Amino acid sequence: DELISQIAAGEVVERPASVVRELVDNALDAGATHIQVKLMGGGVRSIVVEDDGCGIPVAQLPLALKRHATSKIANLHDLESVATMGFRGEALAAIASVSDMALASRTAADAHAHRLDARSGELQPAARARGTSVEVRELFFSTPARRKFLKTDATELAHCVEAVRRHALARPDVGFAIWHEGKLVDQWRAASVEQRIRDVLGDDFVSDSREFELSIGPMALTGRAGLPEAARSRADQQYVWVNGRYVRDKLISHAIRSAYEDVLHGHRQPSYVLFIEIAPELVDVNVHPTKIEVRFRDGRALHQSVRRAFVDALAKSQS
């Protein structure tokens, strides 16, 4: 069972940044309005994610660590319309199998918090306000082969920060702070969509990009298409979210590239942000354990709409 969990963990947890992504997903699903990410040693030595969300009832703390235990979907039918970031119930179990994990949590109904040590199973009273803290220490300590694949602390830290940036851009209504070795690395207060883009990607990106907004049937596309000038300051800043989930998708990047080719006659490294909102039953997010890949029911319609949104935004900047 331990072995199966560790194999499954390999699919979910590649490096500290994957842990950060999963823990922040959980905090957002819990309705957090403020999320702190505290890292040591690039996240390899320790990752602590603290939120002010709904908390986990003490009776369910041990369950949260069980494989395939999720409080988010009740049956297969729900999977068709999943609105939360999580639904597979594997992240915490997977992370716990390759680290030293502890959960501390308190709901509005609790008189105090409880802390569960995943390895020993020991449950103790703890002090914290409503919400949840997840502590992940010594990632891959029991799987040295995997630990060897990690890069320097600085590189792992950069990936962790990037994971938080992706969340921060998608959720401007939530405040984020990232710490490393006790020092504040970055923080973003709750803001408007535009202000959050300025805060995370810089004023230059906003002035060197054009906004677009396109609604077609069950799909709404919003975002900013970077002009060639934007590439000078921030090359290769390419962000796409589907229903709030950061994704990488060949179909989407192809549609965007073809728009740049048409209007600007080729532009090798466009930077852009694209938020796609689509009826949940028209997209399958259960393609890969990390949920970074998605599958669209009507890929052709999506490709056309994305291309259209970028062509319109870029053409406007030409006239």
Binding interface with Mg ion (CB under 5 A): 25-26, 86, 91
Backbone angles phi, psi at 301, to 5 degrees: -65, -40
Question: How far is CA 222 from its chain centroid?
Answer: 18
Backbone angles phi, psi at 235, to 5 degrees: -70, 150
Say which entry of Mg ion, ligand ADP, none residue 156 contacts (CB below 5 to 8 A, set by partner kind).
none
Amino acid making up residue 6: Q
Q: Does 102 bind ligand ADP (CB under 6 A)?
A: no
**Residue 127 CB, nearest distance to ligand ADP (Å)?**
17
Positions 193 through 252 that interact with ligand ADP (CB under 6 A) = none
| Binding-site member from 15, 38, 88, 196 for ligand ADP (CB under 6 A) | 88
**Residue 311 CB, nearest distance to ligand ADP (Å)?**
37
- Distance (Å, whole) CA 289 – CA 271: 27
| Binding-site member from 5, 6, 33, 71 for ligand ADP (CB under 6 A) | 71
CB 15 within 8 A of CB 159: yes
- Distance (Å, whole) CA 284 – CA 302: 14
Grouping H, G, I as helix, E, B as strand and the rest as coil, residue 82 is coil
Residue whose Cβ sits closest to ligand ADP: 86
| Binding-site member from 38, 48, 52, 90 for ligand ADP (CB under 6 A) | 90
**Which CB, 30 or 104, lies closer to Mg ion?**
30
Listed residue (207, 316, 203, 299) closest to 259, CA to CA: 316
Q: Does 174 bind ligand ADP (CB under 6 A)?
A: no
| Binding-site member from 62, 89, 218, 280 for ligand ADP (CB under 6 A) | 89
**Which CB, 49 or 256, lies closer to ligand ADP?**
49
**Residue 89 CB, nearest distance to ligand ADP (Å)?**
4
**Which CB, 53 or 226, lies closer to ligand ADP?**
53
**Which CB, 6 or 71, lies closer to ligand ADP?**
71
| Binding-site member from 30, 221, 230, 259 for ligand ADP (CB under 6 A) | 30
Amino acid making up residue 278: I
Stretch that binds ligand ADP, among 63-71, 144-152, 159-167, 304-312 (CB under 6 A): 63-71
Q: Does 56 bind ligand ADP (CB under 6 A)?
A: yes
Q: How is residue 276 annotated by DSSP?
A: E
Annotate 176-222 with three-state secondary structure: EEEEECCEEEEEECCCCHHHHHHHHHCHHHHHCEEEEEEEECCEEEE
**Residue 29 CB, nearest distance to Mg ion (Å)?**
7
Listed residue (134, 136, 67, 69) closest to 105, CA to CA: 134
**Residue 165 CB, nearest distance to ligand ADP (Å)?**
20
Rg (CA), the chain: 20
Q: Does 27 bind ligand ADP (CB under 6 A)?
A: yes
**Residue 64 CB, nearest distance to Mg ion (Å)?**
9
Positions 131 through 160 that interact with ligand ADP (CB under 6 A) = 132
Residues 6+ apart with CB under 8 A from 285: 82, 87, 242, 243, 245, 291, 294
- Number of chain positions touching ligand ADP (CB under 6 A): 23
Question: How far is CA 318 from its chain centroid?
Answer: 34
- Distance (Å, whole) CA 259 – CA 264: 8
Query: Which structure tokens are listed for 158?
Result: 């950069």
User: Where does this chain bind ligand ADP (CB under 6 A)?
Assistant: 22, 26-27, 30, 51, 53-56, 64, 69-72, 86-93, 132
